[in-house]
Structure 1
């Protein structure tokens, strides 16, 4: 890995496979040992692997895999951490890096996000429960909530257990958002390393494939018409597909703010509102669907006479 003009941490990180591999291993090990910091640390692991793939290349990415995998096992004294690193950090990061390399904008990343999240959903629906279905996730949630039996009411427990069958869809949706953030970080770090002060790959340009709308239609029809054993997978799939269109809706909002020339603080304020009023996420998902079907972004950018 040859260092470029950009200095600082990125230059040091990309100056050699050992620096990159050991840095990622430290972050991944901390994510396993410090649960309340797991999400941001895991996010940075995936983003850094994507950065290595994008900037240094496929060969260096494989070398980092070996170094970070072995180091993770040594740091945690747990041989399973090496395998866990490959599956949950290196593989998504490698694929996101390939997606960033494949397309100058977000076309490659979008297909990687769709493929990774669908694979995750299938594994959590059928492979992890070993055919037990939604009862597996209800039993898992019951075990997790046992220490809190004295602190939560029976009504609250019942409500949580009702949501438990949707855990595969919720987890897959959460990972989509995390992987999207990782791709954004990797893209921006790569631009900074190249000495580019202004982002060249802006989030407002992210668009889902047009043909994906048919999967959405089929899923919604399935939820209405199908009952029994297949209703559960369709409900989880609807959560995941809705999250894909949430990404499109957020992309449209970014584009809208840029077209209107509104300040970054206004966009930050919107995200704070979304955290406080999570119901608005559904509105943004619908906005993403409308944007994809009616090409709202093209109308927004169309020059006025």
Structure 2
């Protein structure tokens, strides 16, 4: 019954450009007006745009851009929301939809996520701060933490100051995760719309390209050799590259759990553990690197056969 209900909602959503455009505009406007729900609402916006591109086509995707962009500006009484929708929701969704069409697995989406992550990093490093550099992000963090400043110890302030320098990388890596989830949602929604009950494109098949290891090597060399202001962009690039390999490590963990035939609640417990013990994220990222360098998933498949 739940699957039928979801399929009915998807059919209504995809039945016309106006339904799709207005629905996405409502979600995007709510994301801007309700900050604590911004991430999940934006996730759904991007996934729905990708679904429109994947199922309805490129022309319909442009029509949704016009309708949703205008509606977002109208709902919020702010024309910049229309521009923001085009850049933040529609463009990633459109590219993810193209990536899903390009490859029956995740090859196209992987390259889209890599490209968008590097673009987001470049914007966060140089465009948004308008040349100010780390000082811009430090100022933003000070404004954000001003109400709780008296309650923070000197050590906590120092830790936050160090983290602030890495905000561009953290934001770009976070967006990479959001775009990956959006692609997963769009792919699954399309399968539900087509009546496919068993997922055909699953996260355990997510594989980064081998050549990305050279970017990792260059980043590590840059951290070792550069100093001063030149080091700041490379440090943030390391966060983004680490985030990409974190996705690779999580993909391998999905494959490993599936190879053991363990139930879903075990995987759920694994993610709860990651949330509670965030230090494990580094371990999973290293696992992702080891997987690509030593081809662990091929070895796992060989041991099963």
Q: How high is the TM-score relative to the length of structure 2?
A: 0.96
Match of 2:281 in 1: 281
> What displacement does 1:159 show?
2.0
Any idea what SS the aligned residue of 1:199 has? coil
Paired with 1:279 and 1:302, the residues of 2 have a C-alpha distance of 31
Q: Retained in 2: the 8 A contact 1:99–1:109?
A: yes
Count of aligned pairs: 300
Paired with 1:27 and 1:225, the residues of 2 have a C-alpha distance of 45
Paired with 2:304 and 2:76, the residues of 1 have a C-alpha distance of 60
Cα distance per residue 1:199-222 (max 9 Å; x no partner): 000111110000110110111111
> What displacement does 1:259 show?
1.1
Q: Retained in 2: the 8 A contact 1:142–1:161?
A: no
Match of 1:158 in 2: 158
Q: Retained in 2: the 8 A contact 1:252–1:288?
A: yes
Paired with 2:256 and 2:158, the residues of 1 have a C-alpha distance of 41
Q: Retained in 1: the 8 A contact 2:7–2:192?
A: no
Match of 1:102 in 2: 102
Paired with 1:304 and 1:125, the residues of 2 have a C-alpha distance of 45
Match of 1:93 in 2: 93
> What displacement does 1:19 show?
0.5
Q: CA RMSD in A?
A: 1.2
1:209 aligns with 2:209: yes
Cα distance per residue 1:147-170 (max 9 Å; x no partner): 222332343223212211110000
Match of 1:291 in 2: 291
Q: Relative to structure 1, is the Cα distance of residues 133 and 304 closer, same or farther in structure 2, using a 3 angstrom cutoff?
A: closer
Match of 2:120 in 1: 120
> What displacement does 1:37 show?
0.9
Match of 2:21 in 1: 21
Match of 1:63 in 2: 63
Deviates more, 1:242-251 or 1:120-129: 120-129
Find runs of 4+ consecutive structure 1 residues off by over 3 angstroms. Answer: none
1:189 aligns with 2:189: yes
1:42 aligns with 2:35: no
Paired with 1:303 and 1:172, the residues of 2 have a C-alpha distance of 37
Cα distance per residue 1:59-86 (max 9 Å; x no partner): 0000000000011011111111100100
Deviates more, 1:112-121 or 1:136-145: 136-145
